[in-house]
Structure 1
Amino acid sequence: MDLVARRRRTSGLRHDEVARLAGVSTDYYVRLEQGRERDPSDQVLGSLARVLQLDLEATRHLYELAHRRASQLRKVIGSRGEPVGPEVLRFIERQDDVAAFVVNRHWDVLAQNPLNAALHEGLEHNGNLMRMTFLNPASREFYLDWEQEASFKVAHFRAAVGANHHDPSLYELVEELSLGSDDFRRLWARHDVRGRTHGSIRLHRDDVGDMALTFEIFAVCRAPGQLLVVLQAESGSPSEHALARLAGLAAAR
Structure 2
Amino acid sequence: MTPGDRRAELSEFLRTRRALLKPADVGLPDYGTRRRVPGLRREELAQAAGVSVSYYTHLEQGNSANVSVEVLEAIATALKLTDTERTYLTQLVKPTRRAAGKPAPRTQQLRPAVQQLLDAMTDVPAYVNGLRMDILGWNKPAAALFGNWAELPPEERNWGRLIFLSPATRDLFLDWERKARAVTGILRMHAGAHPHDPQLTALIGELSMRSEEFRRFWAAHEVRRKSHGPMRLRHPLVGELQVAYETFPLPDDPDQMMVTYHTEPGTDSAAALRLLTSWGTDAATPITADPTVTGNETGGR
TM-score by length of 2: 0.74
Q: Given the alignment of the two structures, is residue 67 of structure 1 paired with residue 94 of structure 2, yes or no?
A: yes
Give the unaligned 5+ runs of structure 2: 1-5, 20-37, 284-301
Q: Which amino acid aligns with 1:71?
A: R
Q: Which residue does 1:84 correspond to in 2?
A: 110
Give 2:13's match in structure 1, choosing from 6, 25, 28.
6
Q: Which amino acid aligns with 1:153?
A: V
CA deviation after TM superposition for structure 1 residue 250, in Å: 3.3
1:184-232: CA deviation from partner (whole Å, max 9, x where unpaired): 1111111112224211111112112111111100111211211100011
Give 1:40's match in structure 2, choosing from 48, 67, 79.
67
Q: Which residue does 2:233 correspond to in 1?
A: 203
Aligned partners of 1:98 and 1:230 also within 8 Å: yes
Partners in 1 of 2:71 and 2:51 — Cα distance? 8
Partners in 1 of 2:62 and 2:68 — Cα distance? 14
Aligned partners of 2:143 and 2:281 also within 8 Å: no
Aligned partners of 2:99 and 2:193 also within 8 Å: no
Range with bigger deviation, 8-17 or 46-55: 8-17
Aligned partners of 2:100 and 2:195 also within 8 Å: no
Aligned partners of 2:148 and 2:281 also within 8 Å: no
Q: Which residue does 1:215 correspond to in 2?
A: 245
Structure 1 residues 106 and 151 mapped into 2: Cα distance closer, same or farther (>3 Å)?
same
Answer with 1 or 2: which has the greater Rg: 2
Q: Which residue does 1:191 correspond to in 2?
A: 221
Partners in 2 of 1:196 and 1:69 — Cα distance? 21
1:67-104: CA deviation from partner (whole Å, max 9, x where unpaired): 20433468545x45311123322221110111010011
Aligned partners of 1:144 and 1:202 also within 8 Å: yes
How many residue pairs get aligned? The number is 252
Q: Which amino acid aligns with 2:94?
A: H
Partners in 2 of 1:252 and 1:135 — Cα distance? 24
Partners in 2 of 1:224 and 1:233 — Cα distance? 27
Partners in 2 of 1:31 and 1:70 — Cα distance? 24
Structure 1 residues 13 and 240 mapped into 2: Cα distance closer, same or farther (>3 Å)?
closer
CA deviation after TM superposition for structure 1 residue 109, in Å: 0.5
Partners in 2 of 1:251 and 1:22 — Cα distance? 54
Partners in 1 of 2:108 and 2:97 — Cα distance? 23
Give 1:110's match in structure 2, choosing from 129, 133, 136.
136
TM-score by length of 1: 0.87
Partners in 1 of 2:238 and 2:113 — Cα distance? 32
Give the unaligned 5+ runs of structure 1: none
CA deviation after TM superposition for structure 1 residue 54, in Å: 2.0
Partners in 2 of 1:32 and 1:57 — Cα distance? 20
CA deviation after TM superposition for structure 1 residue 12, in Å: 4.5
CA deviation after TM superposition for structure 1 residue 23, in Å: 4.0
Of all paired residues, the percent bearing the same amino acid is: 35
Partners in 2 of 1:80 and 1:230 — Cα distance? 26
Q: Secondary structure at the match of 2:270?
A: helix
Q: Which amino acid aligns with 1:22?
A: A
Q: Secondary structure at the match of 1:53?
A: coil
Q: Secondary structure at the match of 1:215?
A: strand
CA deviation after TM superposition for structure 1 residue 131, in Å: 1.0
Partners in 2 of 1:110 and 1:37 — Cα distance? 36
